Structure 1
Amino acid sequence: MDIVIKLSQFLLSLSLLIILHELGHFIPAKLFKTRVEKFYLFFDVKYSLLKKKIGETEYGIGWLPLGGYVKISGMIDESMDKEQMALPPQPWEFRSKPAWQRLIIMLGGVTVNFILAFIIYIGMAFAYGDTYIANSDLKDGLLIENKAMQNAGFKTGDKIISIDGEKVVKFDNDINMKIVMAKQVLIERNGIQQSITMQNDFVDQLSKFEKGSLVDIRMPFAIGAVTADSKNTALQPKDIVVALNGQKIKYLDEAKTVLESNKNKTITATVLRDQKKLQVPVVVSKDGKLGVQLGGLGMASLEKLGYYKISKQEFGLLESIPVGLVKGKDQLIGYGKQLKMIFSPSTGAYKQVGGFKAIFDIFPNTWSWEVFWTITALLSIMLGVMNLLPIPALDGGHVMFLLYEIVSGKKPSDKFLENAQMVGFVLLITLLLFANGNDIYKAIVGK
């Protein structure tokens, strides 16, 4: 069932993005009276799953879920329809339209992608507001168990003050990505501020260790379940361990340190159960474990127990607009920085490029509209930026040649455009094989 939910979110998001992107080309093409021969979700190599012709356009769903397309008459595209291009230009064809109209048609897809992302962020601000923990309320610092972070010089308990000179006001999911792209991180440790310089190959270092958050909030030691072979049957689910061997325990990471130093011993644990403190004997295994599964506590429970103060902002419709625009701008700039890192070999970021499996993996096993729209908005930005790359066969390649035509007044020959399209197609296939090959390699080596 989990895989069905995950796959459903993946296909729904992908389909939505493809259809809207292609609509971005389709609508201006129709407005400029340009014939659109096909409008397809997924590719119909040799055959299609569904198709229906309405007017001059065939609408359909292909069997190969690697994207989608609109086939516009008189345009040199992936169809490489040389027979059509050999005939005299017709008034309804793309090549017969003024350059400015062709430019609008080609920019339509990425324009829709960016607009969609901003609309989603505005809608999410209105529907969900903004829930976070103020950075100033993280009195005991953050949990830092990521090995690459530890190797970079971070420790559990560090407070992050600023990233590349930008003060950290609130702790949210964006902080991890900001650290990945950072050059300097200012922290406070034991009341003393110090700056950590991030290594250029930090992204590559991340790939060598287990995946997970770079930083996270420190959590209490909550019992989720006692395993069947555990000797500590005195412990119960929902217990919160607040002391071990007479030593006060506030966070799980502190408990791990105490247990590590008391292997093969019976010690006393103080637990909070039904708002009462109880002392129970516990046996620590030779591995420094209690034989329990950890339990998760929601934000409301953490606030009730006095761990964190949860801040929530709600926005009216008009208030949501600037909030969503700022969020979209930050994500767009952030992805631009990621792309720059990928094309800088010294960072090793190219090793983390993934294909369809990598996209599939970011969707959760449980259905959450908030998470779904968050991922879809980010994918929409990624699709828009990638399509703007000046590679023939992508929208950006067509735009590049159209801008040349507008500036120089000279239109590239059809032969040149055909050759450029072929080169671009080879580049795209190479990138596709590299990205999905990375997925396969990571699956094999387990990273």
Structure 2
Amino acid sequence: MGTITFLLVLSFLVFFHELGHFLAARFFGVKVHVFSIGFGKQIYSKYWAGTTWQIALIPLGGYVKMKGQDDSKPTLNESGDDSYNTKKPWQRIVILFAGPFANFLLAAIIYFAIALMGAKTLAPTIGNISPNSVAFEAGLKENDKILKINETEIKAWDEIGKVITTTQGALQFYIQRDNQLLIKIINPQISDSQNMFNERIKKRMIGIAPKGEVVTLELGFYDSLAYAYDKTIFASTMIFQGVQKLITGIIPSSEVGGVISIGKIISDASESSFIALLTITALISVNLGVLNLLPIPALDGGHIMFNLYEMIVRRKPSDQVFMFLTIFGWLILGSLMLLGIYNDINRIFLNN
């Protein structure tokens, strides 16, 4: 069942990505020969509205084959008003960007649905308090619930850190303890900490940790839109930063995961709850959007770079350069896929 869920989720995300390319291409009058979910041998197809819609044997991706654009033939050049390579560079950029944008949009829609269904988050209830911390000195205790900081109402634990790190000076904490309302003035201190990439950083802290209680957020329509926007932006930023840390060596290459890791994550989420599955699907959708925007010649981001070059210098790269960079891009992608699979297999043996 986990494998089926993985294939369905991946196919859905690929379909949405390629649909972005397809709709943008058709908007500019570009003919689309093939819309494929998967690669390799065709196992199902239907010709409709001038396009062959197909499902292929290897379900680990997909593509739209446009007139005048074919990654398997990088120097392909076809004439006609309905050809991709006769369109203006900015139009090609829109077509290329539409795929990743569709993934970001899909993630936002999923996060919006999660918010309406009842997004779960850590409650703003204090668990551990560090000895000699400013929170300890102010008299905060375990099970205290933070209701408000200054004029900002607190509904979730992560909102506490946002307020502390984005404000200056002392803060007024409104605390619920049993049936009492207490007000504590606390001046956060700059302390050593670690970010999500295990980098040592300094930030304003008061020395508290969550109790671990989970609450369901009750969000209206507009609050759900804000929730979806914030989650999509946060996920996109996190993945962009993760790629940067990987390139600079802060994150070791052993952390790169492949299709086996993705499959296991989706399978585990599907067994946990439907909302957990939706959350992972949204995160993977953002991941696909970000990774496809990387300036690697075989990806959308690489093609966007070629078109930006053409807009700036008023001419296309030579066929030799284009061919070389495209093949080089495929080698990079192939190497990353092999690295991911190698790491996945290593983890399986280590866990056993």
Under a length normalisation based on structure 2, what TM-score does the superposition of the two structures give?
0.75
For 1:408-423, list aligned pairs within 5 A.
408-423=313-328
**Counterpart amino acid of 1:122?**
F
**Counterpart amino acid of 1:428?**
L
Paired with 1:74 and 1:81, the residues of 2 have a C-alpha distance of 10
Of 106, 111, 114, which residue of structure 1 is paired with 2:104?
114
- 5+ residue gaps, structure 1, are 143-156, 162-167, 176-191, 204-214, 219-307
Instruction: Provide the residue aligned with 1:245 in structure 2.
Output: none
* Higher alpha-carbon Rg: 1
Count of paired positions: 293
1:372 aligns with 2:257: no
Paired with 1:319 and 1:198, the residues of 2 have a C-alpha distance of 30
Paired with 1:97 and 1:170, the residues of 2 have a C-alpha distance of 49
1:138 aligns with 2:126: yes
Give 3-state SS (helix, strand or coil) of 1:61's partner: strand
Instruction: Provide the residue aligned with 2:257 in structure 1.
Output: 354
CA contact under 8 A between 2:128 and 2:211: conserved in structure 1? no
For 1:291-302, list aligned pairs within 5 A.
none
Q: CA deviation at 1:23?
A: 0.6
CA contact under 8 A between 2:197 and 2:242: conserved in structure 1? no
**Cα distance change on mapping 1:348 and 1:100 into 2, 3 Å:** closer
Q: CA deviation at 1:131?
A: 4.2
Q: CA deviation at 1:198?
A: 3.9
Of 66, 75, 99, which residue of structure 2 is paired with 1:72?
66
Q: CA RMSD of the aligned region, Å?
A: 3.0
Of 384, 392, 395, which residue of structure 1 is paired with 2:297?
392
Give 3-state SS (helix, strand or coil) of 2:341's partner: helix
Give 3-state SS (helix, strand or coil) of 2:115's partner: helix
**CA deviations over 1:34-66 (Å, ceiling 9, x no partner):** 1111110010x2x21111222432111111122
Paired with 2:221 and 2:28, the residues of 1 have a C-alpha distance of 34
For 1:87-236, list aligned pairs within 5 A.
89-134=79-124, 137-140=125-128, 170-171=156-157, 195-198=191-194, 202=198, 217=211
Q: Percent identity between the aligned chains?
A: 33
CA contact under 8 A between 1:9 and 1:372: conserved in structure 2? no
**CA deviations over 1:247-269 (Å, ceiling 9, x no partner):** xxxxxxxxxxxxxxxxxxxxxxx
Paired with 1:26 and 1:351, the residues of 2 have a C-alpha distance of 36
**Cα distance change on mapping 1:389 and 1:55 into 2, 3 Å:** same
**CA deviations over 1:53-105 (Å, ceiling 9, x no partner):** 2243211111112210111111141x2276x53xx623221111111211111
CA contact under 8 A between 2:74 and 2:322: conserved in structure 1? no
Paired with 2:290 and 2:242, the residues of 1 have a C-alpha distance of 11
CA contact under 8 A between 1:13 and 1:376: conserved in structure 2? yes
CA contact under 8 A between 1:39 and 1:57: conserved in structure 2? yes
**Cα distance change on mapping 1:402 and 1:127 into 2, 3 Å:** same
In terms of fraction of residues, the more helix-rich structure is 2
1:51 aligns with 2:45: yes
Of 324, 334, 337, which residue of structure 1 is paired with 2:238?
334
Q: CA deviation at 1:315?
A: 1.3
- 5+ residue gaps, structure 2, are 131-141, 147-153, 162-187, 200-208
CA contact under 8 A between 2:74 and 2:326: conserved in structure 1? no
